[in-house]
Structure formats: structure tokens, C-alpha cells
């Protein structure tokens, strides 16, 4: 039974249905606790067999395992009102939708690099996606591309037995007969890239050159066209071994092309990377101590804190790799730091913990107390939840040294440095 607008599903309020397939439907919803818009993937009740449910659970586990800026993270995966719900960040549109509009060469190369990087990361962790297509790449603000839908994914083993699942038009020949390999994802990815550059999707028997190859060559040059030809060979052994190799070769060829176009000596005064370095240093001097911006974003290398939900420089969620914390333990859900006397995660509304002691340890970072009169536990700045009673903090935290507030969450930000709110993840110029 389809869900209706304004219908409640646990802490989620359904806004609209985004898409619907034979197995599951995707809805836009509001997380009423965090105040965030999310995408909910919910299997149809008719599909709730043990087999399909196992596929959905596997998808959730794989997505949580694959931490990468270009792979869509999963915020939550659980049963709500007898429905298995996968909650994910809500993107702006799919790559399929973006491909209907004209793309500049730089935009196309940026999207290609992000797409190949996502699949390369999956292959680097022995995961074969098995359903690479434009609809499974989601675009976020700033044309940040993220790969989703690992429902057909297989974990590579010595003996790999898998069905011929996939999407007609993008599926590799060997995968169509039930023998997916890493090269199968390379083939499907090559077709997606060719379609992105030319507007044409090659068809069986995939003879080279396909139509519109001239347009591809004019757009990216002869070397990258040959790179693409190598990816969409019919014989798997003739393709790149995996997306890792494919990505490495793409970076080499693209960097070579950039260097060739920029033979003239670069004026260091105009080098944006130098200005970025200066900006980062200025920020560290002003806020490095007050918000503990002692780490670097895993995507852009900008200074970030474990207090942040996303990188304020590039919008990456989460900005840190796992297990980087000043605290003695990690939350098993968001992997951010927690203290051993806390009962709950102060950042993600995660599960309760088995505390090591009933004694509350002091900490000089505690600056206020919980608004819950029955709790009144000490709180650190920028905590989202009380670690003692799990009540959501209602105070809009201030950023020391700045009077500017995020227009969405009302928490303190500094628009002189940041492009995104690190607390609610939304763009500050929206």
C-alpha cells in the first residue's frame, strides 16, 4: 500500500513520492527530530519476502561500510511500523535528469571523475555494484555526485555466484548470463560515460566506433576517448581489471591534458590553492581552539571538527574518516567520539550505551546544562542531544567570535569562511 503525503512513519513525515519501481518506492520525507529532508526507500509489501528483505538489509550494510564522498550514505535502516525503511540524504536530481541538459567539458569531466571514484572505492573494498546506470547517481548541491542503490551488489569471493540482475541497456554481456565481475561494472560505467558525453547509448554488439564518437573526441580528446573504448570492450579480459585501475588511468590522462593546456607558467598570485591555504590558516587562528578544528576534511582537506555534521568548506558528509576523536570511545552508529560515562550519543540520536561508570566525569568543555528539568546534565557546545537523557537541545548554539547565524538551523556560522552550515549541512548561500 502506497504512503500518502503528510502520513507519519515513525519520526518521518511523508512529503511526496519521488519514484516507484517493481520492488520498492522512494519518498521524500522530513525527519521531524532533526528537521532534515531525507529520501526514504521502502520495499512494497508484496515484495517483503525473506529473499528481498535480505537484499535490502545487505544494501544497508554495504552502504554503511562504503564511506566515500561520492557514495550516498545511509542515515538509518530499520523496521518502522512493520516496514523496512532505508533513510538517505535527499539529493536534487539524478544524473539521468542532468544529462538531459547541456554539459560543459569541465562539468562533464568533473562528473566522470566523481562517478569513477565512487565505483573504484567500491571495488577497492571488494564490492561489485551490479547496477551502474545514470538513475543510480544522485546529484547534490554544487554538482556533487553520489552513487546509490547497492541492492544488487555482490561481495567478491573466490567463487562468485550471482544472478543476472541489472538494468537492460547498461548490463554487461557476462552479467546478463549470471557471471558478474569487476569488469562488468567497468563496462556499465563506460556506457554511462559515453552517453553523458555524446547523448547516445551504445547498443549490442558494441562495435567500435559507435555513433557520435566524433562528439566524444572533440569534447575530451583522443586519449580519453581511447580510455573509454577500453572500458566498453565486449570481452571482459579486454577491459580494465577494475574501476580502481580505470580511475588511476583517468587521473593520469586528465592531469596530462590539463598540464598540456597550461604550458605557460602559472602566476602564483593567481593560484587559488594559495589563497585557500591562507584562508584555512586564518580560520584556524580564529576558531581552531574554540570549536576544536584540529582535523582535515577527508575530501577537501579544509579544517574541520568532530562536532560538525558536514564539512563547511565543501559540504562532505561526514567530514571525518572513522575513529578520529579526542573522546575515549566511538558511537557505533555515527562513529563520532563519546565519553564512557554518557548514556547516549550527543550527535546522532544513536542507541544507548552500556556505561562503564555511573560517576559523571568532569570536563572543562561543559559550558551549560540540559533544559530537561529532571536531568540538568552538563552539555558541551554544539551537542545535538543530551548524552544523559537523549532530549534534543533546543538552544541555538553560538559560534564564538561571530554574530552570523545559519538561516536554516539558527546555529552560529561564519559566512566569511564557510559555504555550508556544518551543523545542518545546508548551503549558506541558498
Q: Dihedral through CA 227, CA 228, CA 230, CA 235, nearest 10?
A: 170
Region of 35 on the Ramachandran plot (φ > 0 left; ψ -120 to 50 alpha; else beta): left
Peptide bond connecting 90 to the previous residue in cis, omega within 30 degrees of 0: no
Q: In angstroms, rounded to a whole number, what is the distance separating the alpha carbons of residues 290 and 382?
A: 11
- Which ranges constitute the DSSP H helices of 199-352? 213-220, 222-231, 243-261, 272-287
Residue 36 is given by DSSP the state E
Q: How would you label 1-40 residue by residue, b for 16+ Cβ within 10 Å and e otherwise?
A: eebeeeeebbebebbebbeeeeebbbbebbbeebebebbb
Which residues is 42 bridged to in the sheet?
A: 25
The answer to whether 131 is a known catalytic residue is yes
Selecting among 131, 135, 149, 363, the annotated active-site residue is 131
Strands 8-9 and 12-20: antiparallel
| Contacting residues for 120 by C-beta, under 8 A, at least 6 apart | 242, 243, 244, 246, 247
Active site residues: 131
Amino acid at each position: 500500500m502506497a504512503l500518502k503525503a503528510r502520513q507519519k512513519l515513525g519520526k518521518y513525515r511523508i512529503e511526496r513520492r519521488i519514484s516507484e519501481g517493481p520492488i520498492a518506492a522512494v519518498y521524500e520525507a522530513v525527519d521531524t527530530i532533526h528537521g532534515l529532508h531525507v529520501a526514504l526507500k521502502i520495499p512494497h509489501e508484496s515484495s517483503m519476502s525473506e529473499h528481498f528483505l535480505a537484499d535490502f538489509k545487505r544494501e544497508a550494510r554495504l552502504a554503511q561500510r562504503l564511506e566515500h564522498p561520492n557514495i550516498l550514505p545511509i542515515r538509518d535502516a530499520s523496521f518502522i511500523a512493520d516496514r523496512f525503511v532505508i533513510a538517505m540524504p535527499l539529493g536534487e536530481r539524478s544524473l539521468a535528469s542532468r544529462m538531459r541538459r547541456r554539459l560543459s567539458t569541465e562539468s562533464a569531466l568533473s562528473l566522470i571523475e566523481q562517478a569513477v571514484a565512487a565505483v573504484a572505492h567500491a571495488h577497492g573494498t571488494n564490492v561489485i555494484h551490479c547496477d551502474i546506470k545514470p538513475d543510480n547517481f544522485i546529484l547534490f548541491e554544487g554538482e556533487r555526485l553520489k552513487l546509490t542503490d547497492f541492492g544488487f551488489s555482490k561481495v567478491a569471493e573466490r567463487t562468485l555466484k550471482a544472478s543476472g540482475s541489472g538494468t537492460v541497456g547498461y548490463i554487461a554481456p557476462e552479467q546478463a548470463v549470471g557471471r558478474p565481475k569487476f569488469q562488468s561494472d567497468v563496462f556499465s560505467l563506460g556506457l554511462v560515460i559515453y552517453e553523458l558525453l555524446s547523448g547516445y547509448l551504445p547498443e549490442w554488439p558494441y562495435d567500435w566506433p559507435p555513433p557520435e564518437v566524433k562528439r566524444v573526441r572533440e569534447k575530451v580528446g583522443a586519449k580519453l576517448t581511447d580510455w573509454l573504448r577500453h572500458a566498453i570492450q565486449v570481452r571482459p579480459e579486454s577491459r580494465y581489471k577494475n574501476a580502481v585501475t580505470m580511475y588511476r588511468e583517468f587521473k593520469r590522462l586528465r592531469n596530462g591534458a590539463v598540464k598540456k593546456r597550461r604550458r605557460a607558467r602559472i602566476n602564483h598570485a593567481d593560484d587559488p590553492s594559495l589563497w585557500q591555504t591562507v584562508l584555512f590558516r586564518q580560520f584556524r587562528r580564529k576558531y581552531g581552539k574554540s570549536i576544536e578544528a584540529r582535523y582535515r576534511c577527508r575530501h577537501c582537506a579544509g579544517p574541520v571538527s568532530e562536532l560538525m555534521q558536514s564539512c563547511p568548506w565543501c559540504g562532505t558528509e561526514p567530514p571525518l574518516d572513522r575513529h578520529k576523536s579526542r573522546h575515549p570511545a566511538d558511537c557505533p552508529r555515527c562513529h563520532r567520539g563519546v565519553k564512557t560515562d554518557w548514556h547516549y550519543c550527543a550527535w546522532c540520536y544513536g542507541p544507548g550505551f552500556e556505561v562503564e561508570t555511573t560517576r559523571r566525569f568532569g570536563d572543562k568543555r561543559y559550558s551549560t546544562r540540559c533544559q530537561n528539568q529532571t536531568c540538568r546534565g552538563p552539555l558541551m557546545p554544539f551537542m545535538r542531544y543530551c548524552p544523559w537523557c537523549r532530549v534534543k537541545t533546543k538552544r541555538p548554539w553560538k559560534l564564538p567570535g561571530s554574530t552570523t547565524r545559519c538561516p536554516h538551523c539558527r546555529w552560529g556560522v561564519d559566512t566569511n569562511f564557510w559555504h555550508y552550515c556544518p551543523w545542518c549541512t545546508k548551503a549558506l548561500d541558498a
